[in-house]
Amino acid sequence: MLSKILIVLLLLFTIFVNSNAQVAYATDVVGFLTPSQFSCIKYSGYDAVFTQIYSPMDGGSVDIYGTKNIITAYEAGLSTEVYINPAPQSNKLGDTQFDEAYKQLTNAHIHVRSIWLKVTKPLLWHQNVSYNVNFIRDMLNRAQSYNVNFGIYTNWYDWDQITGSTAVFQQDNLPLWYWNAQGFGPNAESLYHFGDFTQFGIVTLALNQIKNEKILPDYKYTFSNFYDVCHVPRTSFGAYELIEKYNVDVIFGSTCNIAAMRLSIMAKFYSVLTFVWGAVSTSDVTNLNRLPNIFSTYAIFFLLGLATIDVLNISIGQLCQKIYIDFDRVLNYTNSHVQIVQSYKTTFDPTYEEFGKFLNKISNKTRVILSCFDDDMYKRKFLISMFDNGLNNDE
């Protein structure tokens, strides 16, 4: 069973990654596929298929093509995984739906190692998140009773809307099939790494850590969440709901500039503190006269602009000297064990031989060389001299 899986939706195409960082291609399938179609998938470089075995049709029912696809895919030399697309609003409980999915496989003499549950499309789930969490728990408990590995297919938004970003399944150490597709077709494809992964359930994890380590032993606190997805009208509604309905004392968010400002203005009216984070970088967050209720730990574009102007105001001839002085100041300030063992300022137009003498002098007593040049030609001479003096190795 794969312990670490990343799904990228490209039409029906999938990429999964295991814990040894080996990359393989797969596809998830729904409906009947012929043997020639599975053979085509195999010869196209795919190693596995994820097959639907249960659908939400008719209040929850087995997918009549599920077992057929598994057998045909196996005969084509493909590995197989199966998933349940549940019917949470059905009269059937979660364990009942799992039983129906599981038994159709065993009746077809298919050995079941793992089953995935799709927790997507919030409109198909109950508005009561507690009911949804219990529905998932019922399925998980039934899978464990059959000694079947149980995984979750979802993403941060679906998980929040359906379960309220619960972290109650953390202790179960469930594998995650995480989907992220911003668009359709090839334009929605992302790279086979976890750089686009958005964490979810993190608030509950943080609160549990605070409680377990007794960081705030004398405080009682609860949290409510609302994802605005940086949509400004939605942000305004969410802020109002959090303040009026849940009576919050502080709001963390939003993560985008305009939405964060809209939220903070509304929160100021109710004298509620806001803590901005994420991609918020507008200089408006520093206007304490307008927004005394806002806190930010992020660098903003205004300060970055000031720093850039300071650098541009330094003449080219002084830039390297300024860099050297700042390095020296940092080393003295931090009391670091790192030392500048040798510094050298070249002549106005340094020669190849000049660089050679410097490199010979430091080659046996330095580990890192920091260089700054006013001209690309000087840099070229220096790199050639390093090569000729044998300083182009791993050391």
Round to whole Å and give the CA distance between 47 and 25: 6
Residue-wise pLDDT tens digits, 168-210: 887 788 888 877 655 555 555 565 555 555 555 556 666 777 7
User: Which residue ranges make up each domain of the chain?
Assistant: 26-198, 222-296, 301-389
Q: For the domain with range 222-296, which CATH number is right: 3.30.1600.10, 3.40.50.2300, 3.30.70.1140, 3.40.640.10?
A: 3.40.50.2300
Mean pLDDT of 325-353: 74
Is residue 194 classed exposed, middle or buried when 0-12, 13-18 and 19+ CB atoms within 10 A define those classes? Answer: exposed
**Residue 82's Cα: distance from chain center in Å?**
25
Residue-wise pLDDT tens digits, 62-107: 999 999 999 999 999 998 999 999 999 999 999 999 999 999 999 9
Among 68, 36, 41, CA closest to 52: 68
Helix (H) / strand (E) element for 114: namely strand 114-118
Is residue 86 classed exposed, middle or buried when 0-12, 13-18 and 19+ CB atoms within 10 A define those classes? Answer: buried
Among 51, 30, 150, 57, CA closest to 95: 150
Alpha helices (runs of H) in 86-187, residue ranges in sequence order = 94-107, 129-145, 156-163
**Residue 289's Cα: distance from chain center in Å?**
36
Is pTM beyond 0.75 here? no
Is residue 353 classed exposed, middle or buried when 0-12, 13-18 and 19+ CB atoms within 10 A define those classes? Answer: exposed
Round to whole Å and give the CA distance between 50 and 53: 10
Phi, psi angle pair for 316, to nearest 5° = -55, -40
pLDDT at 21: 46
Alpha helices (runs of H) in 44-128, residue ranges in sequence order = 66-75, 94-107
pLDDT at 88: 94
Task: Give the CA radius of gyration of the chain.
Answer: 29
Region 26-198: CATH code: 3.20.20.80
